[in-house]
C-alpha cells in the first residue's frame, strides 16, 4: 500500500482572498514504511509574501521570485501523488490551496475521499489535548529540533512519523526487516517464509524407544484391518511416502 504524507506553505490563510502556495513537500510511505522517495518544490506565488507568513516559514518574496510557477510543476506533483491516499495535518487548509491552484489551471480537484486528516485522527485518539504537529512530536518523543520554522518537506517527514504513531504502525515498522530479507530462523521473514528451512546437520534422536514402537504397533493391530490407523501402519511398513512418520 502506498500513501503520500503532504504539507504546504502559503502566503496566508485564504486562497479566495488572493493567497497562494509557496512550497509543497511530500514523502512516500509503502506499507507504512518511509521509502525515501519525496517531492519538494518552492513556488513563485506571483505576489508578495506578507510579514506574518514570512515569520512562519521564512520564505521571502525575494527568495521566491525566481522559483517556478505552480503551472510549471503541477504535472510532476500530480505524477508523484498518483491516485494514492494523501495524509495531511489539518487537511482542509492544504487541500483548499491545492485545489484552488488546480482550479486556476482548469485541472480536476482532488477529492476528499482520498485524504486522511491526521489532525482528526489525533483529536479522536487524544481528545482534549493539544494536537499541533509540535505537540504530537513531543508526545511521541519524535525529534523536531530542526523545526525552527515551518517547512513543507521537514513537516511532511515529521508528520509521517506522527501518523505511524497515530495508527499504531511505527512500532510494527521497527520490527520489520526489508522485504525479502530473511532472519536467522531458517528463512522466515516477518512477511512469511521466503525460502526453505536449512536442513539440520544431524537428525534429531528418536523420542520414543523401540519397545514403545512395538507396543504401539501391537495396539494398532487390535483395531482391525478396516480402520484408518491400519492403513497408516501398512503404509509405513511398505515405505510409502504418504505414510505417517513415527515422529509426527
Catalytic residue numbers, as ranges = 150
Q: Which of 83, 97, 79, 99 is nearest to 37 (CA)?
A: 79
Q: Could you tell me how far CA 86 lies from the centroid of its own chain?
A: 12
Task: Using DSSP bridges, classify how beta strands 115-117 and 86-88 pair: parallel, antiparallel or unpaired.
Answer: parallel
Given a contact cutoff of 8 angstroms between Cβ atoms, the answer to whether 105 and 71 are in contact is: yes
Cα–Cα distance for residue pair 182/192, rounded to 1 Å: 9
| 127 Cβ contact list (under 8 Å, min separation 6) | none
What is the C-alpha to C-alpha distance for residues 91 and 112, in angstroms, rounded to an integer?
9
List all residues 6 or more positions away from 44 whose beta carbon is below 8 Å from its beta carbon.
64, 65, 66, 67, 68, 69
Amino acid at each position: 500500500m502506498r500513501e503520500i504524507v503532504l504539507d504546504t506553505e502559503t502566503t496566508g490563510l485564504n486562497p479566495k482572498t488572493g493567497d497562494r502556495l509557496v512550497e509543497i513537500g511530500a514523502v512516500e510511505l509503502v506499507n507504512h514504511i518511509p521509502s525515501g522517495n519525496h517531492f519538494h518544490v518552492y513556488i513563485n506565488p506571483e505576489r508578495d509574501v506578507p510579514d506574518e507568513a514570512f515569520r512562519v516559514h521564512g520564505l521571502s518574496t525575494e527568495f521566491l521570485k525566481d522559483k517556478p510557477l505552480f503551472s510549471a510543476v503541477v504535472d510532476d506533483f500530480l505524477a508523484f501523488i498518483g491516485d494514492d491516499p494523501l495524509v495531511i495535518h489539518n487537511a482542509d487548509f492544504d487541500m483548499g490551496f491545492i485545489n484552488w491552484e488546480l482550479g486556476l489551471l482548469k485541472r480536476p480537484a482532488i477529492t476528499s475521499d482520498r485524504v486522511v486528516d491526521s489532525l482528526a485522527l489525533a483529536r479522536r485518539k487524544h481528545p482534549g489535548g493539544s494536537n499541533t504537529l509540535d505537540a504530537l512530536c513531543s508526545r511521541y518523543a519524535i525529534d523536531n529540533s530542526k523545526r525552527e520554522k515551518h517547512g513543507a518537506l521537514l513537516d511532511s517527514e515529521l508528520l509521517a512519523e506522527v501518523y505511524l504513531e497515530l495508527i499504531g504502525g511505527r512500532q510494527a515498522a521497527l520490527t520489520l526487516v526489508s522485504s525479502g530479507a530473511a532472519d536467522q530462523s531458517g528463512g522466515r521473514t516477518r512477511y512469511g517464509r521466503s525460502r526453505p528451512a536449512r536442513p539440520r546437520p544431524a537428525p534429531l534422536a528418536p523420542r520414543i524407544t523401540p519397545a514403545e514402537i512395538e507396543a504401539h504397533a501391537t495396539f494398532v493391530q487390535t483395531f482391525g484391518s478396516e480402520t484408518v490407523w491400519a492403513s497408516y501402519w501398512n503404509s509405513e511398513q511398505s515405505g510409502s511416502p504418504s505414510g505417517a512418520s513415527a515422529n509426527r
